[in-house]
Structure 1
Amino acid sequence: SYPVILILDRLHTWFWHRIYEGVRDVGIERFEDLAESHTLIYTPCHRSHLDYLLLSYVLFHRGLMLPHVAAGDNLDLPVVGRILRGGGAFFMRRHFAGDPVYTAVFSEYLYQVFRRGHAVEYFVEGGRSRTGRLLPAHTGMLRMTLDAHRRGLPRPIAFVPVYFAYEKVIEANAYLDELRGASKRRETVRGLFRSLKLTRESFGTVQVRFGRPIELATFLAKDGETASVRNLGRRILAGVNASAYVNAANLVALSTLSMPRQFIDESTLKAQIELCRDLVERDAENHGYAVTGTSVNEVIRHVEDLGLMDRERLADNAGDILGHDPATAVLMTWYRNNALHTIAAPSLIACLVVNRRGVRRAVVRRIFDVVYPYIASELSISGSGAFNDWLRHLESAGVIEQRRGALSVPTDPLRSFQLRLLANAVMPVLERFYITLALLRRAGSGGLGQDELLLECRATAARFSKLYGLDSPEFADARLFSSFLAELTENAVLTSDGDGRLHFDERVPDILRAGRSVVAVELRQALEFRGGDPGDR
């Protein structure tokens, strides 16, 4: 309904100017011409309820067709639902399982929307991410889209990945409660009116970044007509993350959360922010990332103004200490996880070097090539990691030294400490991998089924997190352990017998032996308390 769209546009313009210092879009030119010949499906990451409102607002002001938006029926509220329908929303159940009639009717409805050439928007993650990471792709809508393509459509389909870069997310308090174990609050009209209080706060800036479009016909030509929906979902999520923008909150979170107690002296924080920014900028030709260009002093001041970081002035004249109270530290993991993938490769190299006096470059490369694909899968990163390029960048930054083919920690204390902080960014991912493989090795090939292993993994991760104050809510997330097991199975490292028992080959003990010099000794002790660290064997 065009009148409804005009009214919503005025309301949104007022609302954005009240809560944001700026709304910027980047990358429209990547698909403007394609919009004339293809049916576009916008596939954004899902960070906030504002995602679909921001996307429609940007497209409207750019003169592009507004998409029909697939929305959960939890938003079909009295009055509000009718308004959202007028703005292009169509509501769907959150789960289709067990109702083939509903599935068939909804699939036909989606086909008719495509057949008429309307643009569509849906979230392949299914729901909003409470941890800041991209969630694994839900395959339902993608499968229906593939079915529609195979039935035949007047115009070819192209997916447009979209990345939202929030400096401060409006659902922060709700996410914090849920990360601490509270149940998700149901959406209500009363809650909508309560959210108007947000207009008294500032939420910084937000960027809406459009990735490279993925033409479905081209994707199927490369992967084959029988290409799995899972592969398509991975490709879309990687396209989303390839368009990442590293803002002030991301830079601070990547730095402060690498400290054991999330507090850091100001001079070290500035140096680490510059290192992270420098690494992203140096590798710009190999990806589509962007990073804020504001000065490091402005980055720190801005994050303080957003209420995401505290400053303590000490009497020793050695400089201020900056960091987060316990609640904010948990929340900051959301901002770290938004951008962790942008420095995952150099962080992994740092992990493989920082605890050794000297290690041959070939050894680091071999371990990197084995481990990095699993990190890339978990963090939805495209590409092979470009080991040589990243190593060169780390050497240029002065945080790794190379002599006679051996890599070592620099002798300069600040550079050495920076390398350790960089390694700490991705270390929790490696520690989860180590937990999984160690528990497999301890039980022996064929000793555990997947459900048993997942229970052991979660219990060990929760124990380690509790004992050593690891404020990372996703560390014991069963979905991450499940995804890792799925990757191991896909790569034939794991196989399952007829009884569901997991079997593994010699690669598991080999990786564990290499991992002993990488993971923290505290983790190995936690595994010993649960029956011995198999990495010793």
Structure 2
Amino acid sequence: MEGLSMLQKATQETPVILMPNHKSYLDFLVISYILFTYDIPVPVIAAGIRLAEMKMVGEIFRRSGAFFIRRAIGSDKLYWAVLSEYVKTIVRTGYAPMEFYVEGLRSRTLKSLTPKLGMMHMVLEPFFKSEVFDITLVPISISYDRVLEESLLAHELLGVPKPKETTTSLLKSTKVLQEDYGAMHVNFGRPISVRQMCEGKINRCQYNLTPRDLPQKPTEEAQACVSWLAHLVVRVQDEGSVISPWSLMACMLLQAPITALTEEGLLWHQLTGKTLWLRKLVLDCGARLNWPAQTPDSDVMSSAVALHRSVVHQKAGRVYLVQEEEPARRHPISPQERVMRTASAVLMLASYRNQSLHVFVRPALVATALHITESTQRDELFAFYCFLQELFSYEFVSIPGELSQDFEEACSHLKKCGAAHISQQEVTPSAGGMETLLFLRALIQPFIDSYQVMLRYLCEEGDQVLTEKQFLAAVRSLATRLILSGELDTYEALSSDTQKNLLLALRRLEAVTKSRASEENEFNVNKAAVRTIGDVLSGKIPPQMLQTTPDARL
């Protein structure tokens, strides 16, 4: 209620921008409903153009204040100018809050996505040009015990095309609502004053040198400020998220061997014992945990498993992964199809693990650096930590320019939970902290294994020039072969989001460049640079070699 009270006050003083995370199609309906219930102006919502094509539904959204935008604007300057002016007019007048998703897309992995900056630039420009005194950003954290689209998201990650949004499909999906999806938690964060946050970061006087009506390309200073603010909003969204008991159980389930989940079953008392241990660790890290205090712990965890019966089931004191039922068919299921069915269940489980990943990711990266470098020197660990943050920059969102601060915070968490001793020169694992360090490393290991598979493909099997579509199909084929041969046990390597994130990271590291001449989404691969990155990730060479290898161009 405190967040809503602050929001209500802010709407009377400055233009307000509502910035929820985006995990489900229900997100924008929920925000409007809550604001209407508490007599706060219903927001104007930036929605995807596909929703406008839905009969009746699109018109209802439009009359409710939504406006529809293209997913990609490209080089259409007229469209950009019209959209930009429309958004800035809403901000300048401030007659209603405006709502948009800073991540740009719905997260298919339930992790926070790297923010898109186009809409953020439009929203902040009236402040940069002194057309408004201040703008208030309100981060909103929406958490689900169970996501409505869990199965759909897993199939999309495995390459199944996303079904088109239609009114007919909406009506057909109403039977899904007959199931139990648990609770939804909506946390309205403390309002952020753009004026206060931008103080000392941007010189607004430069905008007075050009007439306001003329379009201006954002300066590097403005771009850096917008990027910093957008990443800060995502961080606040993460910190405001509520973690469910099921998310902790998913963390522990995914650290068990895959055969234990699919064949032997994981002992219930082992799972519950580890989950209770993890609960203490989460609370030590200061996270928001929805664990009913008046209910016995065993009942809380049994209820979580019952709610997620589409992912796991309990039988004879053991927990098993639920796999899709085999339809009636003449021919037996192929090994490749069996891998995909297991992968679908694993990716659903991983999405719920991802809901609590933001709590552990920075300490986990330090724990990983300790293991791979086999060093305790702070400067060496920090260098490897920076490398991991750069490589996984599209997996785990970090605030630009705050790597050192994040590293210190991670070390502080390790010290607080008794996993490491911290001095000015060293980070030393403690005798009683090995269980914590092993858990943290295991959280990051699926991402490392997945990236190693993709780097291996680019170095050994991939062409020097390839399209994104070719890359995704080839990596999925390679990962499937490695899983069947027993060389790989990480089904998350089959996720298209993970594969795309690596390509984006390699472009950022200049190991892969996008071909401008080609009409297709073609990439030129610098195999020497990719090989160097793989060697650093496996600990063969220090991250400093990325700067000294001539062929790497990093």
TM-score, L = length of structure 1:
0.74
5 Å-filtered alignment, 1:11-410, equals 27-76=3-52, 77-117=54-94, 118-154=96-132, 156-225=134-203, 226=219, 227-228=222-223, 229-261=226-258, 263=261, 264-284=266-286, 289-294=287-292, 296-306=297-307, 307-313=309-315, 320-325=318-323, 326=342, 327-353=344-370, 359-360=375-376, 362=378, 365-367=381-383, 369-371=385-387, 373-374=389-390, 375=392, 378-382=395-399, 384=403, 387=407, 390-391=410-411, 393-394=413-414, 397=417, 407-408=428-429
- Tell which deviates more after alignment, 240-249 or 433-442: 433-442
Aligned to 2:441: 423
Letter of the 1:50 partner, please give it: L
The structural deviation recorded for 1:390 is 4.5
Paired residue secondary structure (1:33): helix
1:297 aligned partner, one-letter code = S
Letter of the 1:426 counterpart: I
Q: Which blocks of at least 5 consecutive residues in structure 2 are unaligned?
A: 204-218, 324-341, 483-487, 518-522, 542-550
Amino acid at match of 2:165: E
Conserved? CA contact 2:145–2:246, under 8 Å: yes
User: Alpha-carbon deviation of 1:371?
Assistant: 3.6
Match of residue 337 from structure 2: none
- Do the aligned residues in 1 keep the contact of 2:393 with 2:505 (CA within 8 Å)? no
Alpha-carbon deviation of 1:120?
Answer: 0.5
| 1:367 to 1:238, Cα distance in 2 relative to 1, 3 A | same
Q: TM-score, normalised by structure 2?
A: 0.72
Give the CA deviation at 1:100: 2.8
Task: Report if the CA contact (8 A) 1:56-1:66 is conserved.
Answer: yes
Match of 2:535 in 1: 512
Residue range with higher mean Cα deviation, 248-257 or 504-513: 504-513
Distance 2:160 2:280 in 1: 39
1:87-121 CA distance string (max 9 Å, x none): 22222333323433333222222222222212101
Q: How many corresponding residue pairs? A: 477
C-alpha RMSD over aligned residues: 4.2
Identity of matched residues, %: 23
Deviation string, structure 1 residues 73-95 (Cα, Å, up to 9, x no partner): 22222222222223222223333
| Residue 433 to residue 199, structure 1, CA distance change in 2 (3 Å) | closer
Structure 1 residues 431 and 27, CA gap change in structure 2 (3 angstroms): farther
Pair 1:479 & 2:500 matched: yes
C-alpha change, 1:272 and 1:119, in structure 2 (3 Å) is: same
How far the C-alpha of 1:343 sits from its partner, in A, is 0.7
CA shift, 1:387, in A, is 4.8
Gaps spanning 5+ residues in structure 1: where?
1-24, 519-533
Distance 1:355 1:272 in 2: 25
Name the aligned partner's letter for residue 441 of structure 2.
A
Distance 2:91 2:196 in 1: 18
Deviation at 1:429, TM superposition (A): 3.0
What secondary structure, in the 3-state scheme, does the structure 2 residue paired with 1:164 have? strand
The answer on whether the counterparts of 2:50 and 2:165 sit within 8 Å (CA) in structure 1 is yes
Deviations 1:196-219 (A, max 9, x none): 213311110011122343333334
Structure-2 separation of matches of 1:95 and 1:365: 39
- Deviation, 1:167, is 1.0
- Render the CA deviation track for 1:306-336: whole Å, top value 9, x for unaligned: 125534545xxxx534545434322122222
Following superposition, the deviation at residue 423 of structure 1 comes to 1.5
What CA distance in whole angstroms lies between the structure 1 residues aligned with 2:128 and 2:410?
A: 42
The change in CA–CA distance for 1:210 and 1:390 in structure 2 (over 3 A counts) is same
User: Residues of 2 paired with 1:177 and 1:247: CA distance?
Assistant: 23
Task: Indicate if the aligned counterparts of 2:369 and 2:381 stay in contact, CA closer than 8 A.
Answer: no
Aligned to 2:209: none
Distance 1:47-1:248 versus aligned 2 partners, 3 A rule: same
* Aligned partner of residue 242 in structure 1, secondary structure: helix
Q: Does the CA contact (< 8 Å) of 1:124 and 1:137 recur in 2?
A: yes
**Contact 2:321–2:345 (Cα < 8 Å) also in 1:** no
Q: 1:168: how far off?
A: 0.9
Once the two structures are TM-superposed, the CA of residue 372 in structure 1 deviates from its matched residue by: 5.2
Q: Say if 2:18 and 2:140, in contact at 8 Å, map to a contact too.
A: yes
Aligned mate of 2:490, from 450, 470, 473? 470
Q: Which moved more, 1:362-371 or 1:95-104?
A: 362-371
Residue 297 and residue 352 in structure 1: after superposition, are their counterparts in 2 closer, same or farther (change >3 A)?
farther
Within 1, Cα distance between the matches of 2:526 and 2:362?
29
User: Given that residues 45 and 123 in structure 1 are in contact (C-alpha distance below 8 angstroms), is that contact kept between their aligned partners in structure 2?
Assistant: yes
In 2, are the aligned partners of 1:348 and 1:426 still within 8 Å (CA)? yes
Worse-superposed segment, 320-329 or 243-252 = 320-329
Encode CA deviations 1:44-101: one digit per residue, 9 max, x unaligned. Answer: 1111111011111122223322111111222222222222223222223333234333
Distance 2:302 2:459 in 1: 48
Contact map agreement 2:411 2:422 (CA 8 A) in 1: no
CA contact (8 A) 1:46 1:123 kept: yes
